[in-house]
Chains A and B, each alone.
Chain A
């Protein structure tokens, strides 16, 4: 009888290797998300300034990052920047740079949206009861903004994890690459390997992303209905 594809996962360290590959993907997205949340908050506040120069610069940055497919950005950094400046970047580092740039743009726009969605009377009411500008931000604006932002930031994490699947195309050894190695190694013993491996990776991504997007949806429902 021919080997059943499912046995593949129990041969050697295959199962552990796939999970290790998944961890590479997840850790790159987590690093990128954490950096881009910080930079994104700064970018969002800068975008909210009335200064025409910062407005134009941030606008162009945002439009460029948003209109380019992430894969193109990866190519630009991994092949273009490295060649132009004669530096050597590993696939992982290029991936973190690109996803940070992308995440910062997305997060910045979310922060800008959240800040400008706070109605003006909130500022004015704060002033009317005698709070200082700093107190208005600390007690009124920031709590409401954060409440709007957290679900969206969590959602960004799932988008980041999904998009990180692209890094296999610039040669990073992550979950898909490990899967391909296993498929190649068992080409003769298990011809149906690719069906099982890719099916398994498909569900792995689902298992990772589904709880995160559920959490985001739940928080959004709870906090938006409480909104000010």
Chain B
């Protein structure tokens, strides 16, 4: 192990980690938005949109992110649509993440039994009030575990961005292996970087899950 080498190249990893984090945060926030829209469209069964959403979710869940990225990055320019690798990465992540988030939210919405809705209506709440005060809080609580699993999943998926020339953690590691043949050091730093980022995220989500576990009463 060459610790001088590690010290010398740590700034490269920090930079790459920040870039990865930046893209993941943007991608995850947009995925949540897209997922919310899709799950609401499916929950309220809005006629034409419902069909489109189902097709989108199936397409996105049954294809790998790498292929989606290759199509965006190498395929679309032939149609005259040029995207930077950063734009490709975010679009790809949102395309993938939107469907996973939609499924997480929908399973939460579906888990609330009809009795609850009917009870709400029978004590004189409007449809909107039932949704706002009865269904939504419980649905959020039920879908939190799937939601946090998705966030971590999406972060891990960002490792393929190196394939569309985005200088993320994988890219830096591959570079150092190729340039200096310091495989052990480069891989050690790579693993450490992912641990430093992902372990706290997964710990925080575990706490949130415990705090929000209030649904499931009265079912």
Contacts and interface: CB of A to CB of B under 8 A. Distances in A.
Interface of A: 67-72, 75-76, 79-80, 83-84, 158, 162-163, 165-166, 168-169, 176, 183, 191-192, 194-199, 201-202, 205-206, 209-210, 213
A75 B190 contact: yes
Contact of B75 (A168, A169, A195, A209): A195
A195 B68 contact: no
Contacts, number: 102
* 4 closest residue pairs by CB, A with B: A69-B159, A209-B62, A165-B64, A69-B156
B116 interface: no
20 contacts: A67-B194, A67-B202, A68-B156, A69-B170, A69-B194, A70-B156, A70-B159, A71-B170, A75-B190, A80-B187, A162-B63, A165-B67, A176-B66, A191-B78, A195-B71, A198-B70, A198-B75, A205-B62, A206-B58, A209-B62
A67 B199 contact: yes
B97 to A, nearest CB: 14
B189 to A, nearest CB: 11
Contact of B71 (A79, A191, A198, A209): A198
Contact of B163 (A169, A198, A213): A169
Nearest to A210: B62
| Majority secondary structure, B binding face | helix
Contacts of B75: 194-199
A69 B184 CA distance: 18
Contacts of B173: 75
Interface residues of B, number: 39
A49 to B, nearest CB: 23
A68 B191 CA distance: 7
A210 B62 CA distance: 6
Nearest to A165: B64
Contact of A206 (B63, B74, B170, B187): B63
Nearest to A209: B62
A202 B95 CA distance: 13
Contacts of B157: 69
Nearest to B186: A79
Contact of B66 (A76, A158, A168): A168
Interface in B143-188: 152, 156-160, 162-163, 170, 173-174, 177, 183-184, 187
B207 interface: no
B59 interface: yes
A72 B62 contact: no
Contact of A72 (B76, B183, B190, B202): B190
A72 B159 contact: yes
A34 to B, nearest CB: 21
A213 B62 contact: yes
B186 to A, nearest CB: 8
Contacts of A169: 66, 160, 162-163
Nearest to A190: B78
Contacts of A72: 159, 170, 190-191, 194
Given A80-B183, A191-B78, A210 B58 contact: yes
Given A202-B63, A206-B63, A71 B159 contact: yes
Contacts of B83: none
Interface string B13-40: 0000000000000000000000000000
A195 B191 contact: no
Contacts of A166: 64, 66, 160
Contacts of A205: 62-64, 67
